């Protein structure tokens, strides 16, 4: 493994992903982790990430000095570079001049880091302080106009550092620099591949589960599908998947789970039709948080009931269900403190959170994976592209896209409009450019229109196509006008009651992706 020591910026996850893109496994550890604990993980290399602090700040996280005597090849980036320089006796100065954005670097190319790369290259900078004197024994191997010491290395001691951010795409040769460190300096082997991940997880699941029964709640989304498919491959005979149809799904979704998931994996699927129950509970409710609470509560009850039935059926066969599959991803694990326990799952990850009194042990085969890796594992397992590349869809479903109270009729209207938008965006080949495209029904708003010779008095829908990397921030997608025109024409022609289509051109922040 390669340890990415997190100094508190958002860069650590990006670095960990870039390392994995070099086919080397990486994990993020907090900068407060004692060195012995890091070494216990037997790292092949250590990378110190950037961070928001100045090395001069009193509360600045500092790498312990003995970290640099471990003999493990170490690469400092930005703040990690400065703290390495400072810890080893170099000087870091407040230059008063910060460098931000694309910067021209002059690199020395008869070096480990820049071997074979052009002397002049663009790098991405973001810093205030700068290294003004390298520690003894280091060779300065890169400079920019404002930072004469922008890269340094001491290959005999396995120590390397750069002031710029090799992990961001704006750094032209960043991935090559990282590769040089991993392959040449640390002798890492590129053996983190999808085939290996699948094999390893299948082994681990078998070891964890033994001959016990397992259940898996499918949401129709990517994560639960891939987690379920892995468990199916490992211990298929012992797995029951449960899909709760709460009536707030998009058109064709329940059928798709049957068709795409069951057909490919051969999993045992229990579909629970709970539409009436959810709609009854939601009647007359228009406050978004109330909707979420009600849906979460009902979901838990229905899932518990289904789980009891599975337990009862399995019990008759002499086995008890002990394990519950969860599609927890690595960012959830990192964000919740990186603990290995099962207590710190974010409730947002599941539909309304896990039932607390369900006494299952969790099986979490995606705990080490990023979203893009999950998608590739899904492809490796043979899940269809429509499922693997599906856009995120919120647990509370269409209920939070009907603005106003939810009822069956309103849901049907929205479902039709949503299906048209999805179909046309796919037809235009935009699925992978767009993160997701909520279609929102303004059910309490009426708008006047004209159709044929008659006046209409219908409702508007809002198209909300956004591009994003992680849903934390987003921008509205510049969908071509002709695609928007087709969507608008089709929706207003094919969905009676909708006589107006509008486009949301708000970024996040300040808007959120969903309207509720």
- Give the strand pairing for 2-6 and 26-30: parallel
- 341-360 binders of ligand XMP (CB under 6 A): 348
Helix (H) or strand (E) segment spanning residue 451: strand 447-451
Question: Least distance in Å: CB of 513 to ligand XMP?
Answer: 3
Determine whether the annotation assigns residue 221 to a binding site.
yes
- 452-491 binders of ligand XMP (CB under 6 A): 471
Catalytic residue among 27, 99, 165, 437: 165
x-marked contacts with ligand XMP along 297-336 as a string, rule CB under 6 A: ----------------------------------------
Q: Which residues pair with 102 in a beta bridge?
A: 124
Give the nearer residue to ligand XMP in terms of CB position, either 183 or 515: 515
Among 214, 226, 498, 513, binds ligand XMP (CB under 6 A): 513
CA-CA distance, 228 to 239, in Å (whole number)? 9
Among 166, 378, 395, 458, binds ligand XMP (CB under 6 A): 395
Give the nearer residue to ligand XMP in terms of CB position, either 318 or 510: 510
Total binding residues toward ligand XMP, as defined by CB under 6 A: 12
**3-class secondary-structure state, position 103:** strand
Give the nearer residue to ligand XMP in terms of CB position, either 193 or 347: 347
**Which residues neighbour 136 within 8 Å (Cβ) at sequence distance 6 or greater?**
88, 89
Catalytic residue among 27, 99, 153, 167: 167
- Determine if 202 is a binding residue for ligand XMP (CB under 6 A): no
Active-site residue 241, yes or no? no
In sign, the C-alpha dihedral spanning 42, 70, 17, 20 is: negative
Give the nearer residue to ligand XMP in terms of CB position, either 4 or 324: 324
Neighbour tally for 356: CB within 10 Å: 7
Determine whether the annotation assigns residue 286 to a binding site.
no
- 364-393 binders of ligand XMP (CB under 6 A): 392
CA-CA distance, 150 to 82, in Å (whole number)? 10
H-only helix segments in 354-407:
371-380, 385-388
Taking CA atoms, 138 is separated from 76, 85, 425, in Å, by 13, 9, 54
Number of helices and strands in the chain (H, E): 15, 21
- Determine if 394 is a binding residue for ligand XMP (CB under 6 A): yes
Q: Which residues are annotated as a binding site for ATP?
A: 219-225
Positions touching ligand XMP (CB under 6 A) are: 292, 348, 392, 394-396, 436, 471, 508, 512-514
Catalytic residues: 78, 165, 167
């Amino acid at each position: 493994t390669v340890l990415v020591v997190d100094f508190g910026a958002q860069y650590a996850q990006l670095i960990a992903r870039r390392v994995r893109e070099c086919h080397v496994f990486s994990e993020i550890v907090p900068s407060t982790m004692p060195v012995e604990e890091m070494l216990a993980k037997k790292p092949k290399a250590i990378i110190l990430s950037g961070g928001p602090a100045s090395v001069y700040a009193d509360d600045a996280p500092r790498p312990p000095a003995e970290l640099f005597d471990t003999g493990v090849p170490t690469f400092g980036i930005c703040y990690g570079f400065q703290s390495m320089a400072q810890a080893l006796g170099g000087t870091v100065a407040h230059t008063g001049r910060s460098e931000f954005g694309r910067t021209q670097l002059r690199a020395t190319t008869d070096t480990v880091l820049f071997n074979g790369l052009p002397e002049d290259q663009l790098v991405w900078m973001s810093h205030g302080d700068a290294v003004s004197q390298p520690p003894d024994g280091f060779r300065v191997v890169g400079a920019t106009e404002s930072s004469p010491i922008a890269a340094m290395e001491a290959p005999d001691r396995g120590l390397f550092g750069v002031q710029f951010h090799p992990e961001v795409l704006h750094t032209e040769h960043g991935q090559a620099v990282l590769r040089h460190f991993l392959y040449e300096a640390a002798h890492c082997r590129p053996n983190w591949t999808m085939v290996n991940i699948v094999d390893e997880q299948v082994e681990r699941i078998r070891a964890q589960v033994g001959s016990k029964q397992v259940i898996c709640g499918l949401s129709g989304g990517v994560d639960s599908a891939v987690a379920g498919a892995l468990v199916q491959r490992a211990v298929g005979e012992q797995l029951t998947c449960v899909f709760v149809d709460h009536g707030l799904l998009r058109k064709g979704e329940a059928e798709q789970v049957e068709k795409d998931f069951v057909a490919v994996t051969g999993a045992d699927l229990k579909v629970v039709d709970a539409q009436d129950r959810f709609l009854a509970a939601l009647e007359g409710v228009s406050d978004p948080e109330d909707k979420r609470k009600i849906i979460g509560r009902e979901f838990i009850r229905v899932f518990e009931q289904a789980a009891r039935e599975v337990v009862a059926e399995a019990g008759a066969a002499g086995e008890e269900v002990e394990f519950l599959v969860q599609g927890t991803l690595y960012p959830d694990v990192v964000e919740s403190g990186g603990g290995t326990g099962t207590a710190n799952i974010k409730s947002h990850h599941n539909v309304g959170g896990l039932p607390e009194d369900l006494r299952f042990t969790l099986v979490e085969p995606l705990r080490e994976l990023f979203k893009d890796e999950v998608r590739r594992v899904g492809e490796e397992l043979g899940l269809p592209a429509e499922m693997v590349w599906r856009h995120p869809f919120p647990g509370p479903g269409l209920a939070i896209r009907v603005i106003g109270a939810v009822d069956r009729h309103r849901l049907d209207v929205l479902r039709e409009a949503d299906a048209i938008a999805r179909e046309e965006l796919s037809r235009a080949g935009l699925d992978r450019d767009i993160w997701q495209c909520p279609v929102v029904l303004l059910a309490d708003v009426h708008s006047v229109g004209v159709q044929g010779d008659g006046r209409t008095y219908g409702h508007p829908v809002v198209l909300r196509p956004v591009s994003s990397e992680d849903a934390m921030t987003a921008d509205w997608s510049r969908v071509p006008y002709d695609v928007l025109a087709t969507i608008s024409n089709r929706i207003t022609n094919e969905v009676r009651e909708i006589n107006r289509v509008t486009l949301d051109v708000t970024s996040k922040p300040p808007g959120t992706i969903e309207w509720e």
